[in-house]
Structure 1
Amino acid sequence: VSQTISGKDGFTSMIANFDQNQSMLQILFAYVDRLTIGGVPSFTGRPPICRKALLKCFFLKTVFQIDSLRKLTHFLHQYPSFRVSCGLSSVPHISTFSRVGTWFREEGIPLIHKQILQEMHFGLIPCVLIDSTALRSSLYDSQAKWGKSTRYGWYKGYKAHICSTPEGVVLSYAFTTANIHDSKMAPVLLQDIQGQNVLFSVADAAYDSQHIYEIARACNIFAINPINPRNGEQNKSTHRRVLSQFIQTILGKQLMKERGKIEKQFSNLKDKGLEQPRWYGRNRYLLHVQLVFLIHNIAYSILVLQHPLNGLAIR
């Protein structure tokens, strides 16, 4: 489902799509039911609210692109069948969603992200792809910054920096304002996948940096990218000399061709609502990005790895 909530007609259309598709939400909810997550303490003396039920609500919000917690609570009140599907006997107060959203952003989602990757049992990963994509925000967003994008030119917003497999699994990611250069975040992405058995990382010329090469080497990864002629004297480094020869080999050329796949991944993720140009607030945007990546990886794990014939459903 890739439409925005816009009044009653939007709700009706979404419910129709929910019934027709057998619902991505049912797949996501089944995965959440397997997780072990504690409850959210209540400040009113009532029993704790299950975090799994609240995560299902956040999945619902993300899949249906509901753009605020207030609209989410309104949706759950208006359509109690969705509330029941999430495992809630009543609709929590918006402050509860806000409080648990902070926990998911800072602790819960990073833990679940790691768990999903462990369940995939990758073994050897021949190569990973590294790049960033522009995420526009509202011009009134005081926390966003101006940056330059190949597609948009100058824009105000954020960036999602991603390290993924060529097949589309998001292995690691970082979220920054738009003014942060891509090369600044590559070391973070590489260090986050240090536990994976990765041979090569593939990126564009923006990542031609001695610091990145050193971090990659420390992670036992061979970094591949076009040599940036503007780096001048740095081109004399040992890695660049080896790299300039390697990218002329058959294997090097094949790996360099993989770079284009990450642009298709970005397009796919944006079709799922990754970019929200009217939004404002860094933490709000970050939680949304985390949820999109989490949903994407869960869907890949279940639809592709466990049921390969269904793979086209998420591509």
Structure 2
Amino acid sequence: MIIPSNLISENDFSKIFNIIKKQYKVLNSNENKNGRPKKFTDQQIIACAIYGVHYSIFSLRELEYKINRDLVFKEIIGITNAPDYSTFSIRLKKIEQHIYYGIYAILIECINPKTRLCAIDATALRSSRFDSEAKKGKGTRLGFFTGYKLHCMVAVTDIIIPLVFDITTANVYDNQPSSLLYETKIYNPFLILGDAAYDSEEWFKICEKLDMNLLTDINMRKAKSIESFNGQRYKNALFRKSPIGKKLYKSRLKIEQLFSVLKGLYNLENPRLYGINRYKRHVKWCLMAYLIDEYRKKSLKIVSRKYPWNL
């Protein structure tokens, strides 16, 4: 079947595939050139994973089926038949281990968000009730739920960009993945905003050690007033109540906007999934798809955070 060139060039996936090839070239991964060449390149496999996110495809068998029926997409990425579902599984696992985080970091560098002001939070990811690996946790809005959590550090100064993230079971409290602070250090944030869950002496000590500042909401616990607080928690409570503290803390709401967009446009939360590895894979490619879209928006000088149909 002959497909018109303008249909390919104007297709969104043509632009997405060009971005993937560009970033992959910058990464300059050392592919093994010995032996038989791979039937499908890493760029093609990544493009297929992004295709699955955009069309809310959660099964690799379904992904294989849908790509085989999409003649335009196959023409764009240069394949005649979609990879087998077992090929998808093996190749995606290798990409996630060795290439994914490199491309993720390069995309952030290309977007170049201002990282002096960041926010941290966790969002609930409900899973199937038959998921034996999921745990019970408690969310602010959901109450008790079964599933997982996405812990995320986000740049909120201008563009809302997820810098580092971690996926855990739902029983892990929000402030337990303190490793995110160490990973964020490479972006040199000045101030990190968090809700009351992060009002912890341990987090203030880590931030002081890393030469960063932490502003959180006040967690009273069983205290009657902030006068009973000690050290950094008392200083934080005083600053949080000050006019400048209140103004700065409003920027924390942007991370809630990010979670809303990820769940609304990218189907971040999917109760059909079961098993933490499947959920991790799904979340990783949702975040990658979001970064690619933000990179495209910056290239087109679109600054709005509205949904595409409201632009």
Per the normalisation by structure 1, the TM-score is 0.84
Partner of 1:69: 60
Partner of 2:128: 138
Aligned length: 293
Counterpart AA for 2:127? S
More deviation, 259-268/50-59 = 259-268
Distance in structure 1 (CA, Å) of the matches to 2:257 and 2:163: 16
Q: Secondary structure at the match of 2:211?
A: coil
CA gap of 1:313–1:303, structure 2 versus 1, over 3 A, is farther
Distance in structure 2 (CA, Å) of the matches to 1:141 and 1:40: 37
Counterpart AA for 1:160? L
CA gap of 1:179–1:290, structure 2 versus 1, over 3 A, is same
Describe how 1:79-90 pairs up with structure 2 within 5 A. Answer: 79-90=70-81
Q: Secondary structure at the match of 1:247?
A: helix
- How many Å apart are 1:236 and its aligned residue? 3.7
- Does 2:216 correspond to 1:225? yes
Partner of 1:10: none
* 1:247-288: CA deviation from partner (whole Å, max 9, x where unpaired): 233321111111222212111110121111111121111111
Instruction: Pick one of 100, 107, 125 that aligns with 2:98.
Output: 107
Partner of 2:151: 161
- How many Å apart are 1:189 and its aligned residue? 1.7
- How many Å apart are 1:177 and its aligned residue? 0.7
CA gap of 1:87–1:231, structure 2 versus 1, over 3 A, is farther
Distance in structure 2 (CA, Å) of the matches to 1:28 and 1:93: 22
Distance in structure 1 (CA, Å) of the matches to 2:30 and 2:67: 22
Describe how 1:165-314 pairs up with structure 2 within 5 A. Answer: 165-166=155-156, 167-185=159-177, 187-230=178-221, 232=223, 236-271=229-264, 272-304=266-298, 306-309=299-302, 311-312=304-305
CA gap of 1:220–1:270, structure 2 versus 1, over 3 A, is same
Counterpart AA for 1:57? C
Contact 1:28 1:295 in 2 (8 A): no
Distance in structure 1 (CA, Å) of the matches to 2:89 and 2:280: 13
- Does 2:49 correspond to 1:58? yes
Contact 2:200 2:233 in 1 (8 A): no
Contact 1:129 1:163 in 2 (8 A): yes
Q: Secondary structure at the match of 1:159?
A: strand
Contact 1:40 1:49 in 2 (8 A): no
- How many Å apart are 1:307 and its aligned residue? 2.5
Instruction: Pick one of 138, 149, 158 that aligns with 2:139.
Output: 149
* 1:141-190: CA deviation from partner (whole Å, max 9, x where unpaired): 111111112222221111101111223100111101111100101x2221
- How many Å apart are 1:98 and its aligned residue? 0.5
- RMSD value, Cα: 2.7
Partner of 1:7: none
Q: Secondary structure at the match of 1:182?
A: coil
Contact 1:200 1:222 in 2 (8 A): yes
Q: Secondary structure at the match of 2:241?
A: coil
- How many Å apart are 1:227 and its aligned residue? 2.3
CA gap of 1:275–1:40, structure 2 versus 1, over 3 A, is farther
Counterpart AA for 1:177? T
- How many Å apart are 1:39 and its aligned residue? 5.5
Contact 2:42 2:95 in 1 (8 A): no
- How many Å apart are 1:95 and its aligned residue? 1.5
Unpaired runs of 5+ residues, structure 2, are 1-6
CA gap of 1:121–1:47, structure 2 versus 1, over 3 A, is closer
Instruction: Pick one of 12, 21, 24 that aligns with 1:33.
Output: 21
Unpaired runs of 5+ residues, structure 1, are 1-18
- How many Å apart are 1:47 and its aligned residue? 4.0
Contact 1:105 1:286 in 2 (8 A): no
